[in-house]
Amino acid sequence: MPAKNALKEYHENGYYHLYNRGVNKGAIFSDEQDYKTFLYYLKLYL
């Protein structure tokens, strides 16, 4: 596992593995609106 304070360099047009998981593999969205908000920000910043 990488160090908590390690700086990573991200490059334009690079490939990155993104993943989300709740504690103990639990749900990370409490309702449909939470999920839609997540997708909005994901699209905005990617």
DSSP 8-state class, residue 31: S
Whether residue 34 contacts residue 41, with contact meaning beta carbons closer than 8 Å, is answered with: no
Quote the pLDDT of residue 2: 62
> 3-state class of 42 per DSSP?
helix
pTM of the predicted model as reported, rounded to 2 decimal places: 0.57
The string of pLDDT tens digits covering residues 1-46 is 566 778 888 888 888 887 888 899 899 999 999 999 999 998 998 7
pLDDT at 31: 95
Please state the domain extents for the chain.
1-46
CB hemisphere CA count around 44 (13 angstroms): 6
What contacts 24+ positions apart, CB below 8 Å, involve 6-15? none
pLDDT for 7? 80
